[in-house]
Amino acid sequence: MNTIKGGFLSLMQANIMAYVMSVFLHIEFMHHLSCIKCAKWDLLKVGAALIDVVMGKAILLKELDAFQREQLILLLKQDGMDLLRKNASAEAILVNEGTSIMHEALNYLELNDARGFAEKHKLKMPVAENDYKLNLEELLHSVLKRKNRNITKAFDKIKNKPPRIYFLALKIDYAEEMAKDHFSIEEIAYRLQFCDESHLRKTYKKFRGKSLPDFIAGLPSKPLD
Protein backbone atom coordinates (compact mmCIF):
# COMPACT_ATOMS: atom_id res chain seq x y z
CA MET A 1 0.00 0.00 0.00
CA ASN A 2 2.81 2.39 0.94
CA THR A 3 4.57 1.53 -2.33
CA ILE A 4 1.45 2.42 -4.35
CA LYS A 5 0.97 5.63 -2.37
CA GLY A 6 4.62 6.56 -2.83
CA GLY A 7 4.41 5.91 -6.57
CA PHE A 8 1.27 8.03 -6.86
CA LEU A 9 2.90 10.92 -4.98
CA SER A 10 6.00 10.68 -7.16
CA LEU A 11 3.82 10.85 -10.28
CA MET A 12 2.00 13.89 -8.92
CA GLN A 13 5.28 15.61 -8.10
CA ALA A 14 6.60 14.85 -11.59
CA ASN A 15 3.46 16.32 -13.17
CA ILE A 16 3.69 19.44 -11.02
CA MET A 17 7.39 19.88 -11.89
CA ALA A 18 6.63 19.45 -15.60
CA TYR A 19 3.94 22.13 -15.40
CA VAL A 20 6.15 24.54 -13.42
CA MET A 21 8.97 24.17 -15.94
CA SER A 22 6.61 24.32 -18.93
CA VAL A 23 6.61 26.80 -21.80
CA PHE A 24 3.55 28.81 -22.80
CA LEU A 25 2.63 29.57 -26.41
CA HIS A 26 0.01 32.29 -26.64
CA ILE A 27 -2.49 31.70 -29.46
CA GLU A 28 -4.68 34.45 -30.91
CA PHE A 29 -8.21 34.21 -32.32
CA MET A 30 -9.33 31.10 -30.41
CA HIS A 31 -12.99 32.05 -30.59
CA HIS A 32 -14.63 28.63 -30.41
CA LEU A 33 -14.17 25.55 -28.24
CA SER A 34 -13.40 23.59 -31.42
CA CYS A 35 -10.22 25.69 -31.76
CA ILE A 36 -8.71 23.73 -28.85
CA LYS A 37 -8.85 20.48 -30.82
CA CYS A 38 -7.55 22.15 -33.99
CA ALA A 39 -4.63 23.75 -32.13
CA LYS A 40 -3.75 20.41 -30.51
CA TRP A 41 -3.59 18.72 -33.91
CA ASP A 42 -1.49 21.53 -35.35
CA LEU A 43 0.97 21.33 -32.46
CA LEU A 44 1.26 17.56 -32.72
CA LYS A 45 1.85 17.84 -36.48
CA VAL A 46 4.96 19.97 -35.88
CA GLY A 47 6.24 17.60 -33.19
CA ALA A 48 5.61 19.85 -30.18
CA ALA A 49 6.17 18.36 -26.71
CA LEU A 50 2.57 19.11 -25.81
CA ILE A 51 1.15 19.10 -22.29
CA ASP A 52 -2.21 20.74 -22.94
CA VAL A 53 -4.11 23.39 -24.89
CA VAL A 54 -6.63 25.76 -23.33
CA MET A 55 -8.40 28.77 -24.77
CA GLY A 56 -5.70 31.30 -25.65
CA LYS A 57 -2.57 29.25 -25.06
CA ALA A 58 -0.72 25.96 -25.35
CA ILE A 59 1.43 24.45 -22.61
CA LEU A 60 4.59 22.67 -23.78
CA LEU A 61 7.44 20.81 -22.13
CA LYS A 62 9.99 22.77 -24.16
CA GLU A 63 10.28 25.60 -26.67
CA LEU A 64 9.64 25.03 -30.35
CA ASP A 65 12.61 25.48 -32.64
CA ALA A 66 12.46 28.11 -35.40
CA PHE A 67 11.29 25.63 -38.07
CA GLN A 68 8.55 24.17 -35.83
CA ARG A 69 7.34 27.67 -34.97
CA GLU A 70 7.22 28.70 -38.62
CA GLN A 71 5.27 25.57 -39.58
CA LEU A 72 2.90 25.98 -36.65
CA ILE A 73 2.08 29.55 -37.65
CA LEU A 74 1.16 28.34 -41.15
CA LEU A 75 -1.09 25.58 -39.76
CA LEU A 76 -2.77 27.86 -37.23
CA LYS A 77 -3.48 30.49 -39.89
CA GLN A 78 -5.16 27.84 -42.02
CA ASP A 79 -7.46 27.21 -39.04
CA GLY A 80 -8.15 30.93 -38.49
CA MET A 81 -5.73 31.35 -35.58
CA ASP A 82 -2.23 32.74 -35.10
CA LEU A 83 0.63 32.85 -32.61
CA LEU A 84 1.07 35.97 -30.55
CA ARG A 85 4.46 37.36 -31.48
CA LYS A 86 7.41 36.35 -29.29
CA ASN A 87 8.12 39.86 -28.03
CA ALA A 88 4.48 40.65 -27.23
CA SER A 89 4.00 42.97 -24.26
CA ALA A 90 2.65 41.76 -20.93
CA GLU A 91 -0.51 43.79 -21.65
CA ALA A 92 -1.00 42.09 -25.04
CA ILE A 93 -0.62 38.64 -23.45
CA LEU A 94 -3.06 39.56 -20.68
CA VAL A 95 -5.63 40.87 -23.17
CA ASN A 96 -5.27 37.78 -25.36
CA GLU A 97 -5.95 35.54 -22.36
CA GLY A 98 -8.83 37.80 -21.29
CA THR A 99 -10.52 37.81 -24.70
CA SER A 100 -10.01 34.04 -24.99
CA ILE A 101 -11.78 33.38 -21.70
CA MET A 102 -14.59 35.71 -22.77
CA HIS A 103 -15.08 33.68 -25.94
CA GLU A 104 -15.01 30.46 -23.94
CA ALA A 105 -17.67 31.81 -21.58
CA LEU A 106 -19.88 32.87 -24.49
CA ASN A 107 -19.47 29.46 -26.13
CA TYR A 108 -20.79 27.85 -22.95
CA LEU A 109 -23.61 30.41 -22.65
CA GLU A 110 -24.62 29.79 -26.26
CA LEU A 111 -24.82 26.08 -25.41
CA ASN A 112 -26.95 26.97 -22.37
CA ASP A 113 -24.32 25.52 -20.03
CA ALA A 114 -23.31 28.44 -17.82
CA ARG A 115 -23.08 26.14 -14.83
CA GLY A 116 -20.69 23.82 -16.64
CA PHE A 117 -18.43 26.79 -17.38
CA ALA A 118 -18.52 27.93 -13.75
CA GLU A 119 -17.70 24.44 -12.51
CA LYS A 120 -14.80 24.09 -14.97
CA HIS A 121 -13.18 27.28 -13.69
CA LYS A 122 -14.18 26.75 -10.04
CA LEU A 123 -16.21 29.96 -9.89
CA LYS A 124 -18.52 30.68 -6.98
CA MET A 125 -22.12 29.65 -7.62
CA PRO A 126 -25.23 30.41 -5.56
CA VAL A 127 -26.45 27.13 -4.09
CA ALA A 128 -30.12 28.02 -4.59
CA GLU A 129 -29.82 28.74 -8.33
CA ASN A 130 -29.55 26.20 -11.12
CA ASP A 131 -27.77 28.54 -13.51
CA TYR A 132 -24.57 30.49 -12.99
CA LYS A 133 -24.96 34.23 -13.62
CA LEU A 134 -21.73 35.40 -15.16
CA ASN A 135 -19.88 38.19 -13.35
CA LEU A 136 -17.20 39.44 -15.73
CA GLU A 137 -14.96 41.05 -13.12
CA GLU A 138 -15.05 37.94 -10.94
CA LEU A 139 -14.36 35.74 -13.97
CA LEU A 140 -11.34 37.71 -15.21
CA HIS A 141 -9.86 38.09 -11.75
CA SER A 142 -10.35 34.39 -10.94
CA VAL A 143 -8.98 33.01 -14.22
CA LEU A 144 -6.25 35.55 -15.02
CA LYS A 145 -5.03 35.93 -11.41
CA ARG A 146 -4.60 39.68 -11.89
CA LYS A 147 -6.09 42.71 -10.19
CA ASN A 148 -9.10 44.06 -12.09
CA ARG A 149 -7.55 47.52 -12.42
CA ASN A 150 -4.53 45.99 -14.20
CA ILE A 151 -6.81 44.04 -16.53
CA THR A 152 -8.77 47.20 -17.31
CA LYS A 153 -5.57 49.17 -18.02
CA ALA A 154 -4.39 46.45 -20.41
CA PHE A 155 -7.71 46.42 -22.30
CA ASP A 156 -7.76 50.22 -22.49
CA LYS A 157 -4.24 50.16 -23.97
CA ILE A 158 -4.66 47.29 -26.42
CA LYS A 159 -8.37 47.40 -27.31
CA ASN A 160 -9.12 51.07 -26.52
CA LYS A 161 -12.08 50.04 -24.39
CA PRO A 162 -12.62 48.50 -20.94
CA PRO A 163 -13.33 44.76 -20.60
CA ARG A 164 -17.03 45.31 -19.87
CA ILE A 165 -17.62 47.16 -23.17
CA TYR A 166 -15.48 44.71 -25.14
CA PHE A 167 -17.42 41.78 -23.69
CA LEU A 168 -20.74 43.46 -24.45
CA ALA A 169 -19.63 43.96 -28.07
CA LEU A 170 -18.76 40.26 -28.25
CA LYS A 171 -22.21 39.39 -26.93
CA ILE A 172 -23.75 41.34 -29.80
CA ASP A 173 -21.58 39.40 -32.27
CA TYR A 174 -22.76 36.14 -30.71
CA ALA A 175 -26.36 37.36 -30.75
CA GLU A 176 -26.12 37.85 -34.51
CA GLU A 177 -24.64 34.39 -35.02
CA MET A 178 -27.42 32.85 -32.93
CA ALA A 179 -30.01 34.81 -34.92
CA LYS A 180 -28.51 33.32 -38.10
CA ASP A 181 -29.11 29.91 -36.52
CA HIS A 182 -32.77 30.92 -36.06
CA PHE A 183 -32.79 31.37 -32.29
CA SER A 184 -35.59 33.67 -31.12
CA ILE A 185 -34.72 37.05 -29.59
CA GLU A 186 -36.13 35.81 -26.29
CA GLU A 187 -33.89 32.72 -26.33
CA ILE A 188 -30.82 34.75 -27.33
CA ALA A 189 -31.42 37.18 -24.47
CA TYR A 190 -31.81 34.31 -22.02
CA ARG A 191 -28.76 32.33 -23.09
CA LEU A 192 -26.41 35.30 -23.35
CA GLN A 193 -27.63 36.55 -19.96
CA PHE A 194 -29.05 39.91 -20.93
CA CYS A 195 -31.44 41.19 -18.25
CA ASP A 196 -34.35 40.55 -20.59
CA GLU A 197 -35.37 40.79 -24.25
CA SER A 198 -35.73 44.58 -24.01
CA HIS A 199 -32.17 44.90 -22.69
CA LEU A 200 -30.86 42.91 -25.66
CA ARG A 201 -32.83 45.01 -28.16
CA LYS A 202 -31.59 48.30 -26.65
CA THR A 203 -27.98 47.11 -26.45
CA TYR A 204 -28.06 45.85 -30.02
CA LYS A 205 -29.36 49.17 -31.33
CA LYS A 206 -26.71 51.06 -29.35
CA PHE A 207 -23.90 49.01 -30.90
CA ARG A 208 -25.27 48.54 -34.42
CA GLY A 209 -27.37 51.64 -34.98
CA LYS A 210 -30.34 49.54 -36.10
CA SER A 211 -32.75 47.14 -34.46
CA LEU A 212 -32.19 43.42 -34.01
CA PRO A 213 -35.54 42.61 -35.71
CA ASP A 214 -34.30 44.56 -38.76
CA PHE A 215 -31.12 42.46 -38.78
CA ILE A 216 -33.16 39.25 -38.50
CA ALA A 217 -35.52 40.38 -41.27
CA GLY A 218 -32.56 40.57 -43.65
CA LEU A 219 -31.49 36.97 -42.97
CA PRO A 220 -32.40 34.04 -45.24
CA SER A 221 -35.58 32.26 -44.22
CA LYS A 222 -35.33 29.12 -42.13
CA PRO A 223 -35.28 26.10 -44.47
CA LEU A 224 -38.30 23.85 -44.36
CA ASP A 225 -37.79 20.37 -42.88
Residue 219 burial (CB count, 10 A) = 12
Q: Answer yes or no: is pLDDT of 158 > 50.
A: yes
pTM strictly above 0.75: yes
- For the chain, percent of residues with pLDDT exceeding 70: 87
Question: Per residue in 130-146, pLDDT tens?
Answer: 667 888 999 999 999 99
CA distances from residue 186 to 21, 77, 174, 221 in whole angstroms, order as listed: 48, 36, 14, 18
Predicted pLDDT at 111: 94
90-217: same fold as 2-83? no
Query: 64 Cβ partners below 8 Å, 6+ apart?
Result: 25, 46, 48, 72
Q: Residue 130: which of 45, 198, 190, 180 has the closest Cα?
A: 190
Question: Per residue in 27-52, pLDDT tens?
Answer: 999 999 999 999 999 999 999 999 99
Q: Residue 72: which of 57, 59, 84, 83 has the closest Cα?
A: 83
Contact 155, 161 (CB under 8 A): yes
- Alpha-carbon distance of 91 to 95, in angstroms, equals 6
106 SS3 class: helix
Q: Where are the domains of the chain?
A: 2-83, 90-217
Predicted pLDDT at 171: 97
Please state which CATH number belongs to domain 2-83: 3.30.70.100
Q: Specify burial of residue 170 (Cβ count, 10 A radius: 0-12, 13-18, 19+).
A: middle
Architecture of domain 90-217: Orthogonal Bundle (1.10)
